[in-house]
Structure 1
Amino acid sequence: MIIDDFQRGPGFLLTESARLLRKLIDRRLQPLGLSRAQWSILAILSNQEGLSQSQISAKLEIEKSTAGRLIDQVERSGWIERRRIPGDRRVWGIYLTDQARQLLVQVETVILRSRTEMLHSLSPEQQQYLSEILQTVKSSLSAALELDRSELHTRKSEDTIG
């Protein structure tokens, strides 16, 4: 059954809005030589440097091997560097370079401009209300995921015992 856009629910609208925002940002960052995956790594590290490859893969929700290849690519671009973590010879922390810090100023400008354009037709009150509603939706989905995880764990435990 095909449903027209006007009958699609909030989940569709959220997904489609997020897709369009990502597409807009991707297009605007392309002249800087950044792909979505690359700027995602830089964004993560701009908030918390020194993360390991495993920690970055978890934050991006991708496989460690995929994260490793991506990190290698970003490192070759000169935007990040690996440093040994004291006390652990197996794990390397990943840090932004000065070149990346300069690039992030431009990235932030693009993202803020895109966000402003996304919300320009809403009043400040509507923007605040939208943020509150989306935070509630996010919390509800997080709780549902946690409940599912808990139920799955319980079922696995019962299967093991039974």
Structure 2
Amino acid sequence: MNGDVDRFRRLLFSLGRLHSLRDPLASSCERTPLTAPQIHALLWLGQDEALTMGELARRLGITEKTVTGVVDRLEREGHVQRERDPEDRRVVRCRLTAAGTRVYRKLDRTVLQGMGRMLERLDANDRRALFRILEKLIASASPEGRPPSLPGAGSR
């Protein structure tokens, strides 16, 4: 197993030398006034609709204090709005505004185009293997032992 881990690490570093592994959307940041965390926040909110500040922070890999600043800026720009949970006023959820939804759709098209370019480098067998491996990794990380249902999975 150690040999596999070493090989996996070397391959990821080789790929990282060609393309940023930290943020494959980096080129999108250059064409927009948004920062990488703002772009990722818009993408998560576009995928999953309303998220608590804590859940958004977890998905972005930042602290709740830091996510507050990200959401403050997105709110000032009119992309997101905060809502208090009617049953527990301590819980604050973020959701996209109409303007935020328009930006999300543009970003999502960019992501889909990039994924398409990446997947076209693989033949059908390799794509099936990639999907099988990703589904297996997701299932093993899921508390239920199976992949969670994906929002919009049937609509694309």
**Alpha-carbon separation, structure 2, partners of 1:109 and 1:50:** 21
1:15/1:60 Cα in 2 relative to 1: closer, same or farther (>3 Å)?
Answer: farther
- The match for 2:68 is 68
Q: For 2:121, give the aligned amino acid.
A: S
**Alpha-carbon separation, structure 2, partners of 1:92 and 1:138:** 28
**Alpha-carbon separation, structure 2, partners of 1:61 and 1:23:** 12
Question: Mapping of 1:143-154 within 5 angstroms?
Answer: none
- The match for 1:106 is 106
How many residues in Structure 1 have an aligned counterpart in Structure 2? 135
**Alpha-carbon separation, structure 2, partners of 1:34 and 1:25:** 11
Identity of aligned residues (%): 25
**Alpha-carbon separation, structure 2, partners of 1:21 and 1:119:** 16
- The match for 1:10 is 8
| Length-normalised TM-score, structure 1 | 0.69
* Per-residue deviation, residues 28-70 of structure 1 (Å, max 9, x unmatched): 3432322221111112111223322112112223211111111
| Aligned 8 A contact 2:38 2:70 in 1 | yes
1:16/1:44 Cα in 2 relative to 1: closer, same or farther (>3 Å)?
Answer: farther
| Length-normalised TM-score, structure 2 | 0.71
Q: Name structure 2 gaps, 5 residues minimum.
A: 1-5, 143-156
Alpha-carbon deviation of 1:120? 2.0
| Aligned 8 A contact 1:21 1:114 in 2 | no
- In our comparison, the structure showing a higher alpha carbon Rg is 1
Q: Name structure 1 gaps, 5 residues minimum.
A: 1-7, 144-162
**Alpha-carbon separation, structure 1, partners of 2:30 and 2:10:** 27
Alpha-carbon deviation of 1:127? 1.1
Question: Mapping of 1:37-76 within 5 angstroms?
Answer: 37-76=37-76
- Higher share of residues assigned helix: 1
1:25/1:127 Cα in 2 relative to 1: closer, same or farther (>3 Å)?
Answer: same
Alpha-carbon deviation of 1:15? 5.7
Runs of 4+ in 1 over 4 A off after TM superposition: 21-24, 137-140
| Aligned 8 A contact 2:23 2:36 in 1 | no
**Alpha-carbon separation, structure 2, partners of 1:34 and 1:17:** 25
Q: For 2:79, give the aligned amino acid.
A: W
